[in-house]
Copies of this chain bind each other. A is one copy, B any other.
Amino acid sequence: MSQLTIEDIARIAGVSRSTVSRVLNGQPNVRPSVRDRVQEVINSYGYAPQAAARQLVMRKTRLIGLILPDNAHHLFGNPIFAEIARGVSQVCAQRGYTPMLFIGRQDMDEATFFSLLRGRHFDGVVLISSDRQDRSAAMLREAGMPYVRVGHDPEDDQDLQYVDVDNVAAARVAVEHLIALGHRRIAMLKGLAKDVCTHARLEGYRQALAAAGLPFDEALVGDGDWTPASGYAWTRRFLDLPEPPTALFSSNDMMVAGVVRAVQERGLKVPDDLAIVGFDDLLQTTMIFPELTTIRQPCVEMGTRAAELLLDQLEHNRRERAQIILPTSLIIRESCGYRRRVAASVEVKAAAPTAGDLQQPS
């Protein structure tokens, strides 16, 4: 309660401020017996140095900010962010930093956010965003706050350091897999247009169709918004088409929940009537349906790599460009119908029946 200061501890231990400070910071040149005595006083009084005073002189907080897409809903709703955060957290803890997640940016105006950044509460920031309209990156730059981004925009690349996956290649592999299973009419569920990866995944879809000589049909492309509700609505439309698709590629796993509901509502079955491949590999969804074939993103690793880049930047002042593209993989389960056509003993995580290597290297 009382909030002791370093001076109090020094007096109690019968030494000077400086000596207590040396003990606190693990510096050398303290007699072992003195060190022990001071440490004991610190422990018994539960003393910890006041962060603000330390920060003022050190110019470091050892706090790392984590910023997610504006909408908190999105954010908690989609477990991939939790995975990325876990990666960030692991590296931070290991290297003596504490990660803190910004919440409620939607309740905050830009000026407030900017002041928060300039206030130097954080040494650096991991920004998770593939949103083209998101002003966060610009504000971080303007505020002179070091940051590493997870996700990026190839068309407007002001981000010095980022970690991402090759969304085009990943989507292409997903769709090629469906083509290899014999499907000719393959629907595609897009995410929100503001997110860069939405366009990349659509491009992958196009490329796969083109490579197989299949026509691109606008009617088979649904304008989703990442939510199950949009998956539901679009699937109903697809199934109402005169010539409905026999397969569907969804830009994320969450929308698949709605897709499956729509299919079942018609008395149809997955994968027999509609084969599905998703994107993200959320653990949650594996429980719900015929298990989902999907593209796995290495979320935890995206987090660790981003944190490592950031901390290297902070500690060794590494400011060179670093743009890391991590490999994704196609996880074959039941929703694509593969197991029904191929021997059951097939190694699930191994190569797809299509192109050789599913690990897209950077």
Q: Which A residues are closer than 8 A to B by beta carbons?
A: 1, 3, 46-56, 61, 63, 66, 72-73, 75-77, 79, 81-82, 85-86, 88-90, 92-94, 98-104, 106-108, 112, 114-121, 142-144, 227-229, 231-232, 257-258, 260-261, 284, 287-289
**Interface of chain A, helix or strand or loop or mixed?**
helix
Judge whether A93 and B77 touch: CB under 8 Å: no
Which B residue sits closest to A2, measured CB to CB?
B144
Which B residue sits closest to A115, measured CB to CB?
B48
Residue among A52, A56, A144 with the most chain B CB within 10 A? A52
Which residues of B lie under 8 Å from residue A112 when comparing CB positions? 98
Which residues of B lie under 8 Å from residue A117 when comparing CB positions? 48
Judge whether A98 and B104 touch: CB under 8 Å: yes
Considering the chains assembled together, what is the distance between the CA atoms of A301 and B81 in angstroms? Answer: 25
Judge whether A61 and B52 touch: CB under 8 Å: yes
Which B residue sits closest to A117, measured CB to CB?
B48
20 residue pairs from A and B, CB less than 8 Å apart: A3-B120, A47-B118, A49-B119, A51-B120, A63-B121, A66-B103, A72-B86, A86-B104, A89-B107, A90-B104, A92-B104, A93-B104, A93-B108, A98-B112, A98-B116, A100-B100, A100-B102, A101-B101, A229-B287, A288-B288
Which B residue sits closest to A265, measured CB to CB?
B290
Give, as a whole number of angstroms, the nearest-CB distance from A88 to chain B.
8
Give, as a whole number of angstroms, the nearest-CB distance from A85 to chain B.
5
Judge whether B102 and A144 touch: CB under 8 Å: no
Give, as a whole number of angstroms, the nearest-CB distance from A112 to chain B.
8
Judge whether B144 and A3 touch: CB under 8 Å: yes
Considering the chains assembled together, what is the distance between the CA atoms of A49 and B119 in angstroms? Answer: 6
Give, as a whole number of angstroms, the nearest-CB distance from A264 to chain B.
8
Which residues of B lie under 8 Å from residue A143 when comparing CB positions? 46
Judge whether A50 and B86 touch: CB under 8 Å: no
Picked from B3, B90, B287, the residue with its CB within 8 Å of the CB of A261 is B287
Which B residue sits closest to A93, measured CB to CB?
B107
Give, as a whole number of angstroms, the nearest-CB distance from A345 to chain B.
23
Considering the chains assembled together, what is the distance between the CA atoms of A46 and B139 in angstroms? Answer: 11
Picked from B53, B92, B103, B118, the residue with its CB within 8 Å of the CB of A101 is B103
Considering the chains assembled together, what is the distance between the CA atoms of A227 and B284 in angstroms? Answer: 8
Which residues of B lie under 8 Å from residue A73 when comparing CB positions? 79, 82, 86
Which B residue sits closest to A121, measured CB to CB?
B51
Judge whether B104 and A284 touch: CB under 8 Å: no
Residue among A73, A228, A287, A288 with the most chain B CB within 10 A? A287
